[in-house]
Amino acid sequence: MRIYDMDTKQYVDFCKVENPITKVEQLSHALYCYENEVFDIIYDKAQPALRAHVKSFGEEFLKQDGMQFLYFTSGTTGTPTGVYKTKENSKKQAWALIDTLPKDMKFNRIVTTVPFVHIYGVDIGGVVAREMNIDVWVKENFLPEELAIEAQVEGTLIVTTPLFIKALNRVKKDVKFKNSYFLTSTAPLSTDDAKEFAGHYKSSVMQLFASTETGMMAYKVDDETVLRAYDCVEIGESDNMLNISSPFVAKRVLNKTIQDVKFPFQTEDIVEMLSEHKFKLLGRSSNLAKVAGKRISTLQIENIVESLENVECALVKVRKDEKALRDEVLDIYVESSVEIKSKDLKTALKKVFGSMHIVFKLYNNMLITKSSVGKKIGFKEKN
């Protein structure tokens, strides 16, 4: 298995990279660590707040025997949660996915559009290719037109996001991808978009339902609405929320301290159970938005808004627009003594999230209503 750098048009070896920035460097380094069982902390170093968070613990403290990777996900309280994964977690997960791929297709390469700073990129883009022993093709910036060219090549497994499926639907190229297969991440892809894609391009999209903590849980293909749990994933529910026991679930998590994960792992996904291995996803109980493929807590955004001068209170709601490439927009309601400018908020967000573009609409002159215990429950316009 090799990494093919599509920008420089050459193969790249797995190697240790001190400060991996490009996608090729990120993948080369992650696979070097995976291959040699070297522990590594994988996160988006372009996010200043996350960089500071990691630094605050110190790399020596974070290093755990027997663990392969430490990933980070946005915690529901706004503080990042570290998630420890073993090599076994990733390897078993890769094989569970490989076993669900169409048996009548033979794959000879993976083409990825995703970065390798989170579990989806590394485990699905990298480890799956490693376990299948096929090359992985990486490009720093993909355009829909370019992906369309690659997807016409027989035996290509494409690891991408719903963004590209929607973009390809919009360009409606007069080509077929019948000998390729698409995998997309957990971000929602509507059944209409999946159906349109499969119909126009004569290809299929397998949507993986996963999280950093649980690893892969279930999948569905094209316009299916029911998720099928992987064979070795036991699913259950508590208060309509999904819980999971599987070999892919993280062994330890890092909040203020490092703790072992208790099984079954309780998610915040609201589900309707249909049978032992099937369920429908109804929604998410926590206030998490998906921005550029990363989960961001709305509480974290509220804290940032409230840190601005003259802001008394802020409430953030996630608005979904399935037709847009970016399917989640933040509506930010602000109670303040003066009008808050978008530019000032952007500057504050940039200090925490770096260059990640967070799309929001700001509503000034609001009064945030609270419950008797101080929980924000709504908003109304100030008189």
Partner 1 sequence: MVTTEDLKMKLIDGLGLEDIEVAEIGDEMELFGDDGLGLDSVDAIEITLIVEKEFGVKIKDAGEQSGVFSTPNSLVAYINENK
Widest Cα–Cα separation across the chain:
65
Q: How many CB atoms lie within 10 A of CB 130?
A: 19
Smallest separation, CB 281 to partner 1 (Å):
23
Smallest separation, CB 145 to partner 1 (Å):
5
Smallest separation, CB 359 to partner 1 (Å):
6
For partner 1, the binding residues (CB under 8 A) are 7, 139-146, 163-164, 167, 170-171, 292, 324-326, 329, 342-343, 346, 350, 354-357, 359, 361-362
Check: CB of residue 234 under 8 Å from CB of residue 245: yes
Smallest separation, CB 61 to partner 1 (Å):
30
Judged by beta carbon, residue 259 or residue 342, the one nearer partner 1 is: 342
Smallest separation, CB 287 to partner 1 (Å):
21
Judged by beta carbon, residue 7 or residue 37, the one nearer partner 1 is: 7
Smallest separation, CB 199 to partner 1 (Å):
20
Judged by beta carbon, residue 146 or residue 223, the one nearer partner 1 is: 146
Nearest CA to 182 out of 214, 148, 215 is that of 148
CB within 8 A of 256, min separation 6: which ones?
A: none
Q: How many CB atoms lie within 10 A of CB 373?
A: 5
Strands of 14-77, DSSP E: 40-41, 69-74
Judged by beta carbon, residue 92 or residue 166, the one nearer partner 1 is: 166
At residue 122, what are phi and psi to the nearest 5 degrees?
-70, -50
Check: CB of residue 34 under 8 Å from CB of residue 127: yes
Judged by beta carbon, residue 167 or residue 253, the one nearer partner 1 is: 167
Judged by beta carbon, residue 228 or residue 290, the one nearer partner 1 is: 290
Tokens of 275: 């049978």
Smallest separation, CB 241 to partner 1 (Å):
30
SS (H, E, C) 218-243: EEEECCCCCEEECCCCEEEEECCEEE
CA distance 92 to 248: 7
Burial bucket for residue 244 (CB in 10 Å: 0-12, 13-18, 19+): buried
Judged by beta carbon, residue 337 or residue 355, the one nearer partner 1 is: 355
56: left (phi over 0), alpha (psi -120 to 50) or beta: alpha
Smallest separation, CB 107 to partner 1 (Å):
24
Check: CB of residue 195 under 8 Å from CB of residue 221: no
Judged by beta carbon, residue 226 or residue 356, the one nearer partner 1 is: 356
